[in-house]
Amino acid sequence: MKGRIAVLGGDGIGPEVIAEGVRVLAAVASRFGHIFEMEALPFGGVAIDTFGDGLPEHTLKGCLAADGVLLGAIGGPQWGPDAPVRPEPALLRLRAELGVYANLRPIAVQEPLRDASPIKPEYLDGVDLLFVRELTGGIYFGRKWRDGDRAVDECAYSVSEIERITRVAGKLAALRRGKITQVDKSNVLETSRLWRTVSERVIRAEFPGVSIEHMFVDAAAMHLIRRPRDFDVILTENLFGDILTDEGAMLAGSLGVLPSAALGDGRRGLYEPIHGSAPDIAGRGFANPCGTILSAALLLRHSLGLESEARAIEAAVATALSRGARTADIAASGSATLSTQRMGDAVLAALA
């Protein structure tokens, strides 16, 4: 099979972790007899410095022409709130241009990493949940303005936006344990009341084998730590999903081990680890590449339809961890740690 992959290293630790994802993809292509054309393109802060735009036209064209996009991370203090051009709007624009409205963030606890989580081990057994976050609507995409001493960020959702993301959650829940928890703040927000009404209607009418419950976001934040095993698919809007998935990462031990996929109506998707650019450790060679490598697995699964290859990567990461491979973020105090590249080596050795 021949596949075209746009590779966006971005900023901070992004290029370091992306390099390991690319190595693993190249190994998979060799092992399974595929050809992956991987094109590196500038994106984020580094693109602003060179082109004055976080999403240059040739980068956007390359992403639109690709089967899948693999992204490292963007941002850094040099492009902070007072910078004339910031990289974050470029990411929002890329998501919108690609039409990727469904953000999938799986969280499962790897047995070797139970001790890496700050959560008590007895709460972690059997945790296997999936966030389905709406990605191209809500407060991040609403109108924004300042008027004197007042600032406004508008949050808006349409029925059709909620229907389409609910259908994604319904299809995925039907393949899992058949349970959706829809998270909102419907006691105070009109958008949340719409979310509750529409998601209930869609699931009841179109997914009779799937159950749906509704939960306020503050309660969900508490129960995500208190009883994470109870969750199967968590369906929520953009802002709440952004916050809750970072909290949920603590169940797995580190942001560094978790992947994500952003999908639309076609097969092309945007894949990235859920961690940020971590400028404090950029260039030091000990960032965890596992989230990026597992994001590459999601790319193979969802955009190229290569399920066996995706499972091979996931199994290789699990094997590397079971053999004791650890970067600093998931290592026990005083134990040996691997560099970013050595962690990639460990995964490649398990893949062979």
- Closest C-alpha to 262, from 298, 304, 237: 298
Percentage of the residues of the chain whose pLDDT score is greater than 70: 100
Whole-number pLDDT of residue 115: 84
CATH of 1-105+254-352, one of 3.40.50.300, 2.60.40.10, 3.40.718.10, 1.10.10.10: 3.40.718.10
143 falls in which pLDDT band (50, 70, 90)?
very high
**Using CA atoms, how far apart are residues 43 and 53, in angstroms rounded to an integer?**
8
- Range from 64-78, 105-119, 201-215 carrying the lowest mean pLDDT: 105-119
Query: Where along the chain do its domains lie?
Result: 1-105+254-352, 118-252
65 falls in which pLDDT band (50, 70, 90)?
very high
Q: What is the mean pLDDT of the chain?
A: 96
Fold classification of 118-252 (topology level): Isopropylmalate Dehydrogenase (3.40.718)
Mean pLDDT of 35-64: 98
pTM of the model as a whole: 0.93
Cβ–Cβ < 8 Å for 62, 270: no
DSSP-derived secondary structure for 1-23:
-EEEEEEEEESTTHHHHHHHHHH
**Exposed, middle or buried: residue 248 (CB in 10 Å: 0-12, 13-18, 19+)?**
buried
Cβ–Cβ < 8 Å for 272, 10: no
Query: What is the per-residue pLDDT across 247-279, written as a single tens digit (0 to 9) for each?
Result: 998 899 888 999 999 999 999 999 999 999 999
Residue 234 has pLDDT above 90, yes or no: yes
**Angle at Cα 347 formed by Cα 345 and Cα 352, nearest 5°?**
95
Whole-number pLDDT of residue 352: 82
Cβ–Cβ < 8 Å for 296, 5: no
Question: Which residues make Cβ contacts (< 8 Å) with residue 81, sequence separation at least 6?
Answer: none
Is there a shared CATH topology between the 1-105+254-352 domain and the 118-252 domain? yes
Whole-number pLDDT of residue 35: 98
- Closest C-alpha to 163, from 138, 135, 198, 114: 198
Active site residues: 140, 185, 218, 242, 246
